[in-house]
Amino acid sequence: MREIELTSIELKDVSKSFGSVFALRSTSLSVRKGEFLTLLGPSGSGKSTLLNLISGGYPASSGRILLNGKDITNAPPRQRGIGMVFQNYALMPHMTAFDNIAYPLRVRGYSKDDIRTKVTDALARVGLTGFENRKPKQLSGGQQQRVGIARCIVYSPAIIMMDEPLGALDKNLREQMQDEIKILHREIGTTFIYVTHDQEEALNMSDRICLMNNGGIVQLGTPDELYFQPISRFAAQFIGESNLLAGSVDDAGDLRIATGYSLKVPDHRGLVRGQRYEIMLRPERIHVARDGQGEVTPATATARGTVVGVSFIGSMTTLAVELPDGTLLKVKSTSLPAQNRYKVGESIGLRWDPEDLVVLRSED
C-alpha cells in the first residue's frame, strides 16, 4: 500500500511498435513521487516514445500505465492531468505571455481573479514579471521557454514532463536554466520527467537517470551509479569518457589484460575464472608522472607508457598514452603550462587505484 502511495507513475510491460518496428521494447519503470527522473539516450533510443506514451501522444501497443495508481493507458491526453514543456516551446504565437499561461486555467474554468493571481504568481516564479503583454516573438528563446514552464506549473499537474526543453538554447543559457529548473523542482516538489540526450545535463539535474538505447532501458540509477558503476559498454561510453580494456580472470582472481598486466579488481563476486570480461577506467582516474616526480615512481607505477598525443583543452589536458603492447589509454590530467606539459614521445609512469576499475557485467 505504501509502495503505491509513493509511486507517481508506473509503466508495466509497456511497449510500442510502429508496424513491425519496435520503438519501445517491453519496458517497466516506476517513478517515485517528487522525483526528478531523466530519460537519457541517443536519438532513436526510445526516450521520446516513452514520453509520448505517458503524455498520450499515441497509444501503447501493450502494457499498462498507472498515474497515482489510476490506469491511464487508454485515457485521452486531456484527461491525464499532465504538464508538458516542449523543445520548440509550443507557445501560441497569437497570444501574449499572460494568455499563454492562462490557457490551461481557462480550460479548467477558473474565475478571472483566480487566473490573474495564479498567472502573476507563475510569471514571478520564472522571473518574467512585467513581460505578461509580450507575444512569444517579442521574447528571447530563454524567455519563451520560461513562459512554457510557467504555463506548465500554473495548473499544478500531477507530473511535469520536459522534452529536451533546453535543446534550442546556447550553452551558457542552458547551464543557467538547468539550475533554475532544479531549483523550481525543489520548490514545487512535483514529479519531473526530463528527456535529454545531453549527459552533463542529466548528471547535473537528476535524482535518477534512466539510460536508454535501442528502444529499451540500459541502466536505471542515480547519476553517481551511472557514472561510477556503469554496467555495460554502452553506459560506460555514453556517460563520460572511458578506457575499455578486455581481459580474462586468472587463478588469483585478478584480471589479466592483453598488455600482460594483472589488474586487481575491487569486486570479485560472480567473476568466472578463465572467462573474458571488459573493464572500464575513467581517464581522469589515471595519475601520470615523469620518472622520479610526484607520487608515481617506478616502484608504485601500475604501468608505463609513451605519450603519443597531447590536447590542451583548458582546465584539463588529454593525453593519449601507448602501453608497451600498443594498447592506447586516454588520460585526463590538470593542465600545466606549456614548458611543463607532457610532450609526445615522452616516457611516463601511470598509476590507478584498483577501486577505479569497473567490470562491465552486462552485454549490450
Partner 1 sequence: MVTSATRGAGPFVAPAAILSLLVALVPIAFILYFSTMEGTSVEPFRTILKSSLFHRAMTTTVVVAFWASIISLVLGYIVALHLARQTARRRAALMVLVLLPFWTSILVKSYAFTIILGREGIINSFLSWLTGAQVALPLIFNRFGVMVGMTNYLTPLIVFPVLASLLAIDPALYRAAEVMGAKPIRIFLTITLPLSAPGVLAGVLSVAVMALGFFIVPALLGGRQDLMLANLVDFYTREVLDWNIASAVGVTLFALVGIFAIPATLIRRTKGRIAS
Task: Rule CB under 8 A: say whether 83 interacts with partner 1.
Answer: yes
Q: How many residues does the chain have?
A: 364
Task: Rule CB under 8 A: say whether 51 interacts with partner 1.
Answer: no
Task: Rule CB under 8 A: say whether 68 interacts with partner 1.
Answer: no
Q: Cβ distance 32 to 8 under 8 Å?
A: yes
End-to-end Cα, the chain, rounded Å: 35
Dihedral (CA of 115, 118, 124, 126) sign: negative
Decide whether 78 or 171 has the Cβ nearer to partner 1: 78
- Interface region with partner 1, contact rule CB under 8 A, candidates 71-79, 170-178, 190-198, 239-247: 71-79
- Interface region with partner 1, contact rule CB under 8 A, candidates 9-17, 103-111, 185-193, 306-314: 103-111
Element at 223 (helix H, strand E): helix 223-228
Binding partner 1 by CB under 8 A: which of 92, 252, 308, 328? 92
Residues touching partner 1, count (CB under 8 A): 24
**3-state SS class at 234:** helix
- Interface region with partner 1, contact rule CB under 8 A, candidates 22-30, 104-112, 220-228, 314-322: 104-112
Task: Rule CB under 8 A: say whether 75 interacts with partner 1.
Answer: no
Element at 77 (helix H, strand E): none
> For residues 236-265, which are near partner 1 according to CB under 8 A?
none
Decide whether 79 or 172 has the Cβ nearer to partner 1: 79
Give 31: exposed, middle or buried? Use CB within 10 Å, 0-12, 13-18, 19+: buried
Q: Cβ distance 249 to 233 under 8 Å?
A: no
Dihedral, CA atoms, 41, 42, 48, 53, nearest 10 degrees? -60
Task: Rule CB under 8 A: say whether 80 interacts with partner 1.
Answer: yes
Binding partner 1 by CB under 8 A: which of 81, 141, 167, 216? 81
Write the binding mask 106 to 145 for partner 1: x where contact by CB under 8 A, - elsewhere: -xx-------------------------------------
Helix, strand, coil percent content, the chain, rounded in steps of 5: 30, 35, 40
Decide whether 81 or 167 has the Cβ nearer to partner 1: 81
Task: Rule CB under 8 A: say whether 78 interacts with partner 1.
Answer: yes
